[in-house]
Chain A
Amino acid sequence: MEQFLQQIASGLANGAIYACVALALVMIYVSTDHINFAQGEMAMFSTYISWQLMTWGLSFWVAFILAVVFSFVLGVIIERAILRPLHNAPVLSIVVVFIGLLAICNSVAGAIWSYLIKEFPSPFPKSSFGIAGVIGPHQLGVVMVTLIVLGLLFIFFRYTPLGLAMRAAAQNPQMARLVGVRVDWMLALGWGLAAAVGAVAGIMVAHIVYLDPNMMGGILLYAFASALVGGIGNPGGAVVGGFIVGVLENMVAYAGNQIEKATGIYIIGNGEKLTVALIIVITVLTVKPAGLFGRVVVKRV
């Protein structure tokens, strides 16, 4: 039973990470209809920035905030410089540009910091944090940090004029422009925020998966699955989807272990985590493309 609770707790911690990355994906998807394949690699890059700042002697939280600000700026710049001119380009061009970004982020990080796996510190004190036997200090910290970030984002979008303007720009660009919202800048801001949320996820997960240029590959895949489960056009859905998928991932591996213990037959385990995500992605896409909370899109012919 204790093991079962532990599995759920660590599933929630992973789910918090997936929720952040999924939210970043959805924020970009809602406003531009693009799926950002480079989201994970951008987050990885920001994580390396924070690592670099820490080796230069800054404390964890200072490095954390600086790296998040850096990724916000980077996100705005990427949108303004690279994606703006391609606004009406065919889907293939946009997908190709995202893949290009992915390759650049990955290889530049590898060139600057090498492909050696690095340890990443955890800011949460071991003694006073966590509940013994159920949830570890870092896992609890991750859940708390992501919940704070998600709460701040919710307040920002729900209660501030800028947040309202950004939602308007995403929902109905032409009308928003008519009432004086600078839609172009709102999109760039959205990109910046998405990159910043991704960076939070990267810095939080680095302690768990260790720091290396390919660390976000699996997480990005799970974030896709989360966004799809929640309905890719729905930010709240992405967050719920993240937690669902995180717990589901651990439950599948746990069930696999139990079956192996009971019957001796190996079906599924930790080695098949990405396969599970692939199955979730394809199942949701084909069976219920709108996800749990998404709206069904009706296209006019």
Chain B
Amino acid sequence: MPAFPKKLLWVLLALAFLVPLLHPLFPDVVSGYRLFLVSTMIIAAIAVLGLNLLTGFNGQISLGHGAFYAVGAYTAAVLMDHLNMPYWATLPCAAVVCFIVGYLFGLPALRLEGHYLALATFALALAVPQILKYRWLEGLTGGVQGIVLNKPEVPFGLPLSEDQWLYYYCLIVMVVLYWAAANMLDSRSGRAMMAIRDQYMAADTMGIDTALYKTVTFGISAAYTGIAGALSASAIAFVAPDSFTIFLSIKFLIGLVVGGVGSLAGSVVGGIFYVLVDNSAQALSLFVKNDLGLQFDLSAYTVFGILLIVLMYLMPMGIVGGVYLLMRRLRALRG
């Protein structure tokens, strides 16, 4: 897939940094709640980015990235709750812990291919809430009740509201992680990752240490998703086992498929998309009931499920891939 046009990327980035400053001009449009929503979109984008590194660029299917998200969130929450660590210091810790967990899970995953890997990660995703409730961990994790945290405070006396600061905080983390991922993929290691995805045997024959690359990619991918989890823990200021069910992993999959498998920019689109649908589920349901007159509670997951299937038929490359394809076809028509 061609790289995202750089100029457009810079414009979007500048816009993203300027938007909260418009608050005094349009207080209703750029409200605190909206900014918070966009922050959760950014967090989702990072999580999907992590999944995309593994599934999109390395060809290892994971249906259980919610598990790494949970590990990241809990690492951050436990560090903040028990050690009083500042919220920004938990990110590298969550990244390291998730890298190790992901790397370890990647070891047995080495022997699994396609459906089997999907199966193993699916099993992981199903078991996560139970593991978090394990009695020996209760002292750390707070059991079923979870952990209540404080929201990030605005540093250096900056003239920002809490929501504005959270937005900048998430945005900066995402920009750094995106930049790192883009550079990694553009390097020798990135090409090795993709070679393993495209032709495992050939990559092996050419001297790529496939086992090393696959496990380390698993670790890096888990670290990305774990950082997203840590961010979400401080953004929502609460973690509990039952928010990390299999459906969380399904949301990441939605983001991956909608945005585009194997596209960095697509991951961001996908993350934004699933949060958007998730949050407008009630409006959707009302629309179906009042405007279409159907007595049916349309939930976000019905939309997700239908989209997953339809996209596999119409745009297997996701929305970003589909748009590229359309543009190329239009260009071909013109000239």
Contact = CB atoms under 8 A, between A and B. Distances in A.
Q: Does A pair with B?
A: yes
Interface of A: 33-35, 37, 82, 85-86, 89, 91-93, 95-97, 99-108, 110-112, 217-218, 220-221, 224-225, 228, 266, 269, 271-275, 277-278, 281-282, 285-286, 289, 301
Interface in B279-323: 296-302, 304-309, 311-313, 316
Contacts of A103: 247, 250, 301-302, 304-305, 308
Nearest to B285: A111
B332 to A, nearest CB: 25
A92 B253 CA distance: 10
B61 interface: yes
Interface stretch (B94-102, B109-117, B165-173, B224-232): B109-117
Given A35-B118, A278-B126, A100 B299 contact: no
Interface of B is mostly: helix
Interface in B86-132: 108, 111-112, 114-116, 118-120, 122-124, 126-127, 130-131
Nearest to A273: B130
Contacts of A285: 108, 111-112, 116, 119-120
B253 A96 contact: yes
A34 B246 CA distance: 20
B61 A92 contact: yes
A97 B250 contact: no
B193 interface: no
Contact of B119 (A82, A85, A224): A224
A106 B246 CA distance: 12
Nearest to B298: A111
Interface residues of B, number: 47
Contacts of B122: 37, 224
Contacts of A221: 123, 126-127
Contacts of A104: 301-302, 305-306, 309
6 contacts: A100-B312, A104-B301, A111-B296, A224-B122, A278-B126, A282-B108
A141 B82 CA distance: 51
Nearest to B133: A271
Nearest to A108: B302
Contact of B308 (A35, A96, A269, A281): A96
B147 interface: no
Given A221-B123, A285-B108, A110 B299 contact: yes
Contact of B261 (A92, A105, A220): A92
Given A91-B61, A221-B126, A278-B124, A34 B115 contact: yes
Contacts of A85: 313
A215 to B, nearest CB: 13
Nearest to B129: A274
Contacts of A225: 123
Contacts of A95: 61, 63, 115, 118
B23 interface: no
B179 interface: no
A166 B122 CA distance: 29
Contacts of A37: 63, 118, 122
The 4 closest A-B pairs by CB, nearest first: A100-B308, A104-B305, A103-B305, A107-B301
Contact of B309 (A100, A272, A275): A100
B26 interface: no
Most central of B112, B114, B306, B307 by chain A CB within 10 Å: B114
A96 to B, nearest CB: 5
Nearest to A221: B126
B262 to A, nearest CB: 10
Contacts of B257: 96
B123 A101 contact: no
Most central of B63, B246, B304 by chain A CB within 10 Å: B246
Given A101-B305, A278-B126, 18 more contacts: A37-B118, A92-B61, A95-B63, A96-B253, A97-B308, A97-B309, A99-B308, A100-B306, A100-B307, A218-B126, A224-B119, A266-B135, A271-B130, A271-B135, A275-B134, A281-B120, A285-B116, A286-B112
A225 B124 CA distance: 12
Contacts of B120: 281-282, 285
A82 to B, nearest CB: 6
A93 B123 contact: no
B302 A86 contact: no
B193 to A, nearest CB: 16
Contacts of B304: 100, 103
A96 B122 CA distance: 12
B10 interface: no
A218 B298 CA distance: 25
Most central of A89, A95, A217, A282 by chain B CB within 10 Å: A95
Contacts of A220: 126
A271 B61 CA distance: 28
A230 to B, nearest CB: 15
Nearest to A266: B135
A103 to B, nearest CB: 3
Nearest to A269: B135
B55 interface: yes
B201 interface: yes
Contact of B134 (A89, A93, A271): A271
B136 interface: yes
A277 B115 contact: no
A272 B296 CA distance: 36
Contact of B250 (A99, A269, A281): A99
A281 B116 CA distance: 10
Contact of A111 (B55, B133, B246, B297): B297
Contacts of B136: 266
